[in-house]
């Protein structure tokens, strides 16, 4: 009634309300933009270069394709040729020849990633982040000092070893499934359980702190297991291994869609940086396809080390961008810290480089050489990069190694060894590689079990023996698997 008697005052009050609302909205948006982003790292296990839709695969991966198209796709992203070295480099920002982590942290091997290494969650906790690890750890299973919650993660749900029966959660017949150091006996596919935990952590997050969510999935690593209805979707695929592998890929893709849906539902997707990659190349004899790339898992050639990868952050990164420069998993620690505007207070020299300005703003990518080293077939093998040249030191059939030289930008399929055509460059790269100081390798297994026997990492069929014995979380060191080696 009063406002009708004083129309000017009514209009002034209405205008003031609109201005204050606009100011509040702008302040809210500015605060959101300035807030530290959540970081979600999703790692596939043993996925081939050619096994995603955005690389032309017949396997259905619609969510991965959507995210890759909506963010920055990396066409020259390199990992190590094996799982533990890749995970160690991700966590430390340091090369495997400096940490000593050159091979898989096998169940019977007592050592793990050195405890004096500072890991990614420790940096992010210093920046005020909540830190959670899910799925596969594989950086030292047999002593508590190597476990993720003693390396900066405030929670852990998953398993310690490099692989497991996806349904029984066992390795060599013993349960390897835990929550925060305590064995849990649960039913369900390991990938589904890890995805559900990731969704729960997003829904129950601390609203006053950003989070680092490390989601290390087991799919599509052997043994090859997937729900029957998922396998039925690929009934047209004649090869049984490829059929089950394809189902595992599609089920993983659906799980990742549940994570992104949870981020959207929580209204935090716009302030969340998600990165996806595979830990190494795929194994063709276990259903994977590395496309035109040479070699596969365990090889220093491109098929073993060049991984499908992308970053997705809808309000910051340009959609549909393709990043063509060489980048390695070792670079992710400084790059992600830069994206979060967090400090890199390193306790040891960091080998990785900060690529964030190049990714986000188109600045020139950092240069310099890179080396990816791993132990396999009884020798240490290397992929050494400088400029557009790649020196490969690969195992041969005589128990030694051969050195090969490739112009990797112009010969990405490594068809032409140029060592004889460019002897000066070849000798220079060999000398540079040989001159790099190399730490004592942590995991040179003189005796490997039969790698295709039931329960072994290259066996495609699951080891379905009933769970027995003490679970790994409580067992301590594991003896060499009796009767499971030549």
- Active-site residue, from 83, 159, 374, 382: 83
- Active-site residue, from 55, 138, 166, 382: 138
Which sign does the torsion angle of CA 227, 283, 321, 344 carry? positive
Cβ–Cβ under 8 Å, residues 227 and 219: no
Cα–Cα distance measured from residue 148 to residue 162, given in angstroms and rounded to the nearest whole number: 14
SS (H, E, C) the chain: CHHHHCHHHHHHHHHHHHHHHHHHHHHHHHHHHHCCCEEEEEEECCCCCCCCHHHCCCCCCHHHHHHHHCCEEECCEECCCCHHHHHHHHHHCCCHHHHCCCCCCCCCCCCCCCCCCCCHHHHHHHCCCEEEEEEECCCCCCCHHHCHHHCCCCEEEEECCCCCCCCCCEECCEECCEECCEECCCCCCHHHHHHHHHHHHHHCCCCCCCEEEEEECCCCCCCCCCCHHHHHCCCCCCCHHHHHHHHHHHHHHHHHHHHHHHHHHCCCHHHEEEEEEECCCCCHHHCCCCCCCCCCCCCCCHHHHECCEEEECCCCCCCCEEECCCEEHHHHHHHHHHHCCCCCCCCCCCCCCCCHHHHHHCCCCCCCCEEEEEEECCEEEEEEEECCEEEEEEECCCCCEEEEEEECCCCCCCCCCCCCCCHHHHHHHHHHHHHCCCCCCCCCCCCCCCCCCCCCCCCCCCCCCCCCCCCHHHHCCCCCCCCCCC
Cβ–Cβ under 8 Å, residues 282 and 51: yes
- Token code pair at residue 180: 């925060």
83 tagged catalytic: yes
Cα–Cα distance measured from residue 302 to residue 234, given in angstroms and rounded to the nearest whole number: 28
236 tagged catalytic: no
Which sign does the torsion angle of CA 451, 457, 458, 460 carry? positive
- Token code pair at residue 139: 């950086």
- Catalytic site positions: 83, 138
């Amino acid at each position: 009634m009063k406002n009708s008697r004083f129309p000017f005052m009514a209009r002034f009050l209405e205008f003031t309300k609109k201005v204050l609302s606009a100011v509040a909205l702008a302040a809210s948006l500015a605060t959101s933009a300035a807030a530290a982003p959540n970081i979600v790292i999703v790692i596939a296990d043993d996925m081939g270069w050619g096994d995603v839709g955005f690389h032309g695969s017949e396997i259905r991966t619609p969510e991965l394709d959507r995210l890759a198209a909506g963010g920055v796709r990396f066409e020259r992203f390199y990992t190590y040729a094996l799982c533990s070295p890749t995970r160690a480099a991700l966590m430390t920002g340091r090369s495997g020849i400096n940490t000593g982590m050159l091979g898989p942290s096998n169940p019977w091997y007592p050592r793990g990633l050195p405890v004096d290494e500072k890991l990614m969650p420790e940096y992010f906790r210093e920046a005020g982040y909540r830190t959670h690890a899910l799925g596969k750890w594989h950086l030292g299973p047999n002593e508590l000092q190597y476990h993720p919650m003693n390396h900066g993660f405030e929670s852990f749900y998953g398993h310690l070893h490099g692989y497991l029966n996806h349904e029984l959660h066992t390795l060599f017949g013993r349960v390897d499934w835990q929550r925060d150091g305590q064995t849990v006996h649960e039913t369900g596919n390991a990938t589904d359980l890890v995805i559900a935990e990731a969704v729960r952590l997003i829904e129950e997050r601390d609203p006053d702190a950003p989070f680092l969510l490390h989601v290390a999935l087991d799919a599509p690593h052997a043994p090859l297991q997937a729900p029957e209805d998922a396998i039925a979707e690929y009934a047209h695929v004649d090869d049984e291994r490829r059929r089950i592998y394809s189902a595992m890929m599609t089920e993983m893709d659906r799980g990742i869609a549940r994570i992104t849906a949870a981020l959207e539902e929580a209204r935090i997707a716009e302030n969340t940086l998600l990165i996806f990659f595979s830990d190494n190349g795929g194994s063709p004899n276990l259903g994977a396809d590395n496309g035109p790339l040479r070699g596969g898992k365990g090889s220093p050639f491109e098929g073993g080390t060049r991984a499908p990868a992308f970053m997705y952050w809808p309000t910051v990164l340009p959609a549909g961008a393709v990043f063509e420069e060489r980048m390695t998993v070792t670079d992710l620690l400084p790059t992600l810290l830069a994206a979060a505007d967090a400090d890199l207070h390193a306790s040891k020299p960091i080998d990785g480089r900060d690529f964030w300005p190049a990714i986000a703003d188109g600045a020139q990518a950092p240069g310099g050489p890179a080396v990816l080293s791993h132990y396999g077939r009884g020798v240490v093998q290397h992929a050494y990069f400088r400029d557009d040249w790649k020196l490969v030191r690969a195992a041969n059939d005589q128990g030694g190694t051969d050195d090969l030289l490739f112009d990797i930008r112009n010969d990405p399929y490594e068809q032409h060894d140029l060592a004889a055509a460019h002897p000066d460059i070849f000798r220079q790269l060999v000398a540079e590689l040989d001159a790099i100081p190399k730490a004592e390798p942590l995991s040179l297994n003189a005796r490997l079990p039969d790698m295709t026997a039931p329960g072994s990492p290259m066996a495609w069929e699951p080891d379905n023996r009933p769970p027995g014995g003490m679970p790994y979380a409580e067992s301590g060191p594991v003896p060499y698997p009796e009767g499971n080696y030549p």
